[in-house]
Amino acid sequence: MRLTLRDDLPFVTVEITHRAATIGVANGLVDTGAASTVLNADIVSEVGVVLERTDRLRTLRGVGGREFVFVRQIDRLAVGASGLDHFEVEIGEMDYGFEIGGILGMDFLRVAGAVIDLRRLTLELGG
C-alpha cells in the first residue's frame, strides 16, 4: 500500500467492517509512536459504530493532551487486501486541528506484521 505524506506524516486509507457494513476511512495516520489504534467517531458512525452501554471507556493521553474514547471490537480492520479480523479499536472525537480519519497504532502494526519503507513510501502487512 502506498503511503501519502502530508506535513511529513505518513497516511493511508483503512477499511473497517462492522456488522456486515464496510467503510473506507481516509487519512489514517501510520503512527509507530501510538500504542493503540483510534478511529474518528464521526466517520465510523456511518457504519453503526456508536457508543453502546456495553462499551468500555478509556482516557488517552498524548502530546496533544487527553481524549476520552470508547473501545469496540470491529469485524475487520484492513489496509489494502490485508488486515485483521475481530480487532479492538478505540473510537474518539480526534479533534487535533487537522483532518484525520484515524491513527493506525502499534497494536495493529505489530500484529499485522507491518513493514514500513519510508524510502519507497510503502506499507506492507504480513511481512
- For the question of whether the overall pTM of this predicted structure is more than 0.85, the answer is yes
Quick one: cell of 35? Answer: 500504542
Span between the terminal Cα atoms of the chain, in Å? 12
* Alpha-carbon distances of 19 from 22, 29, 86, rounded to whole Å: 8, 24, 11
Q: What burial class does residue 25 get, using C-beta atoms within 10 Å of its C-beta: 0-12 exposed, 13-18 middle, 19+ buried?
A: buried
Q: Which domains does the chain have, with CATH numbers?
A: 4-124 (2.40.70.10)
pLDDT, one tens digit for every residue, the chain (127 residues): 999 999 999 999 999 999 999 999 999 999 999 999 999 999 999 999 999 999 999 998 876 678 899 999 999 999 999 999 999 999 999 887 778 999 999 999 999 999 999 999 999 998 5
Instruction: Write down the pLDDT at residue 65.
Output: 75
